[in-house]
Amino acid sequence: MEKIWNELYKKASEALGNIKISEYIEAGSVAAAIESQNGNIYVGVCLDTACSLGVCAERNAVFNIITNKEYKVKRILVLDSNNKLLIPCGVCREFFAQLMPNNYQDIEIMVDLEKEEAIRMGELLPNVWFK
């Protein structure tokens, strides 16, 4: 397996942690580590709010990428609080498609570290509404 997947797993795992921010917001039950096209790793955690205005860990990680003036995603690894791998939800898939409309399909997503199995975003979202 490529070393980068282990690095992404380690970074996502380190970011996990159920944090109660207020009586209305909790964070960290899901963490994502994303490798940018430039080879940098960015991490984000989910924010769960009482009024449903939270954000997924994947998009939070992308906000970090954009804050650092990068715009392309190469690989994604997402963990829940039990260190179980997840795949991006529909909202996140749409977000990645709009972020990288010409090549979102190529983003790799780790689905099974033991079997070294990754899929591409195009398998999860083969068609988009805007093309």
pLDDT in tens, 11-20: 999 999 999 9
pLDDT digits (tens, 9 = 90+) for 93-124: 999 999 999 999 999 999 999 999 999 999 99
**Token code pair at residue 128:** 């988009």
Tell me the whole-structure pTM to 2 decimals.
0.95
Nearest residue to 64 (alpha-carbon basis) of 1, 110, 11:
11
Cβ atoms 78, 86 nearer than 8 A: yes
